[in-house]
Structure 1
């Protein structure tokens, strides 16, 4: 179920760079320590990072377009499920209004640190994320490309 994307199916090099560069632009920090800045090396490092990393696009109802190994495991999805799931469905219905207010704040400010909230996996398992950073994905031309989140701490409920 938590299979790694097959070569060529995972995030593109450009999307991986967007995740890294946007995170650095907003926070002044590195999302992961990049040891090998090649397409394959970057894909491996982000996918196997010791933190959850996920992102969604700019659709009216944004759909997840990336989840690393830890995200796939936490949300109990495979790559195809993850990348076809509307982002809002990662939160319980009662948490969605708060989640929407939060993402409006991220859009306005570029990023928010220390976010906490309840999320739900594809099987209905609830968990509490702690100290997440959520940031806007903005390319080199200043074009908004979506939002991403990362965190290391969570508790099952």
Structure 2
């Protein structure tokens, strides 16, 4: 899988509706969280194009980069697919909020997943918003090999500026 992810990026292809990558996300989510990522009978196409929930994933590089962002994520964060997959995932939070984000990712790395996460994020336009009730999990294949981390949430709220 790691070579598949690297090969797709190097070849200029994407993982948006890739069945193997979808299986990695869906199976690792179900193993970690105990429920399905997509409704019964739905798959990669539905998750990318139709899901109302934001779904994001980043790789295992030293400075992890997004490798997946469904249409809901693109709308929420205001980045196109091409912009997202070149973006270091740390840039989804402003500098003061990055330490908190890093602590979250370390907890997920150690425990497999975290549910009910709330955190401040920033969109391309500079709009700040809180993600609500997020689930963050490790992307782990059937052999126990880690390929990155992913997150999903279906609730967010713009920060109220006084």
TM-score, structure 1 as length reference: 0.89
Q: Provide structure 1 residue ranges, at least 5 long, that are not aligned to the other structure.
A: 1-7, 37-41
- Structure 1 residues 17-36: aligned runs within 5 Å: 17-36=23-42
Counterpart in the other structure of 1:115? 117
- Superposed CA deviations along residues 62-103 of structure 1, whole A, max 9, x for unmatched, are 000000111000110111001110000000111000100111
Q: Provide structure 2 residue ranges, at least 5 long, that are not aligned to the other structure.
A: 1-12
- For 1:99 and 1:86, locate their aligned partners in 2 and report how far apart those are by CA, in whole Å: 13
Q: How far apart are 1:118 and its partner, in Å? A: 0.3
Tell me the secondary structure at the aligned position of residue 99 of structure 1: helix
Q: Quick check: 1:100 aligned with 2:102?
A: yes
- For 1:43 and 1:109, locate their aligned partners in 2 and report how far apart those are by CA, in whole Å: 26
How many residues in Structure 1 have an aligned counterpart in Structure 2?
Answer: 145
- For 1:34 and 1:72, locate their aligned partners in 2 and report how far apart those are by CA, in whole Å: 24
Q: How far apart are 1:140 and its partner, in Å? A: 1.2
Tell me the secondary structure at the aligned position of residue 152 of structure 2: strand
- For 1:145 and 1:34, locate their aligned partners in 2 and report how far apart those are by CA, in whole Å: 25
TM-score, structure 2 as length reference: 0.86
Q: Quick check: 1:64 aligned with 2:66?
A: yes
1:139 aligned to 138, 141, 147, which one?
141
